[in-house]
Amino acid sequence: MDLQWKNVLIQSDASILDALKIIDAEGLQIGLVVDQELTLLGVVTDGDIRRGILSNIALDASVLDIMKKSPIVASVETPREELIRTMERSRILAIPLLKGSRVVGLETLHQLFESKKYKNPVFIMAGGFGTRLKPMTDSCPKPMLKIGGKPILETILNRFIKAGFTNFYISTHYMPEQIQSYFGDGSNLGIKINYIHEDTPLGTGGSLGLLPKDLPKDLPLIMMNGDVLTKVDFTRLLKFHEQHKANATMCVREYDYQIPYGVIEGEGNLITSMVEKPVQRFFVNAGIYIVSPEIVASVPENHRIDMPVLLEQHMDLGKQVLMFPIHEYWLDIGRLDDFNRAQADIHTLGVLN
């Protein structure tokens, strides 16, 4: 939250000139018009003032004459990622934060992007063959297939970057040169990327054994499959993991399966119940994990293992493995139908934002 927000409060009896002085002095390009109770009445920007001047409105006129009376606002409890999406979608640089109708803060797009940076390593698994997406993957690794004009992997990276993560590791195997030549060391994105190459496929967990030994000893690592599009809030996920002092956290997604027949239960020859086409609900692995440094260190080099098996091994040792249900958008791009759906979702659901 921008700490200067109280300096851009403008009382309802102020003139346009008063508002102009406040906006110029603070450099936030916005003023919040409030009453004595700090109830938000509207917002005024330097653009509003310029338009007022062009319309021959005198500078000694009331600021109420030029302010936006129904501005875009947000609750003070709105997650950071949602604030960024709202401002980018609405093409605004700042958004007042309210508790009820009362102003309690102001977020700016600049402040959000310059806010907390996370040193936690992020490990993206991008070495798969994408067999089910042939022939598209005959000449292109699946994470580099374009959704909405951008490689899937670039969309994944951008979501982590917007959340404040800067330290990335990418595992490669199939056509690694395409990934490395496109992203390089990550400096063009303002991040650091190191590549972990699997000479032979090691499963979804085996590549952990190839990570450098100098990873932070006190920071959990975030893992994610390189073919998943999601709008999950990574900062909330990390906070959940840390608050519960988990050894590992697996993101899960609710999956409904409708049995296409009537299900009959009975005792002997006696029917005791009949349910027509019942729906069964399960939690399925969403391909996103947070693991402790201890779990990372437990995987030997060049040891093939999948993440569910690895986590089960640690559960058998009494380690705490939690699940984090995600209700946000999530799509595993494994088949052609998923790929086509993602192309539509990018535009209708704003997955790229």
Using the predicted structure, report yes or no on whether residue 4 has a pLDDT greater than 70: no
Domain 122-348: give its CATH architecture.
Alpha-Beta Complex (3.90)
Inform me whether the pLDDT recorded for 2 exceeds 60: no
Cα dihedral 224/225/231/233 (nearest 10): -10
Q: Which of 45-59, 180-194, 318-332 shows the lowest mean pLDDT across its residues?
A: 45-59
Across the range 280-289, mean pLDDT stands at: 93
In this structure, what token pair is assigned to residue 282?
A: 């399960």
Token couple for 308: 């569910």
* b/e sequence 128-158, b meaning 16+ C-beta within 10 Å: bebeebeeebeebbbbbbebbeebbbbbbbe
21 is known as an active-site residue: no
Residues 91-108 pLDDT 10s: 888 899 999 989 998 988
Domain ranges of the chain: 5-113, 122-348
d(CA 15, CA 265): 77
> For residue 110, what pLDDT is reported?
73
Q: Is the predicted pLDDT of residue 348 greater than 80, yes or no?
A: no
Predicted confidence (pLDDT) at residue 220 exceeds the cutoff of 80: yes
pLDDT band, residue 351 (cuts 50/70/90):
low
Please give the share of the chain, as a percent, with pLDDT higher than 70. 96
CA distance 17 to 274: 76
Residues in the chain: 353
Predicted confidence at residue 311, as pLDDT, reads 97
Burial-class residue 335 by CB neighbours within 10 Å (0-12, 13-18, 19+): exposed
**End-to-end distance of the chain based on CA atoms, in angstroms?**
21
Q: Where residue 328 falls among pLDDT bands split at 50, 70, 90?
A: confident
- Whether the Cβ atoms of residue 268 and residue 342 lie closer than 8 Å to each other: no
CA 93 to chain centroid, in Å, comes to: 20
pLDDT above 90: percentage of residues in the chain? 66
Residue 353 has pLDDT above 70, yes or no: no
Q: Which fold has domain 5-113?
A: CBS-domain (3.10.580)
Q: What is the pLDDT of residue 80?
A: 81
Q: What is the dihedral of CA 228, 232, 238, 243, to 10 degrees?
A: -130
Which one from 69, 117, 192, 277 is the annotated catalytic residue?
277
At residue 32, does pLDDT exceed 80? yes
Rounded-to-integer distance, Cα 169 and Cα 318, Å: 29
Q: In whole angstroms, what is the distance from residue 274 CA to residue 339 CA?
A: 38
pLDDT of the residue at 64: 94
Average pLDDT over residues 65-80: 91
What is the bridge-based pairing of β-strands 150-151 and 146-147? antiparallel
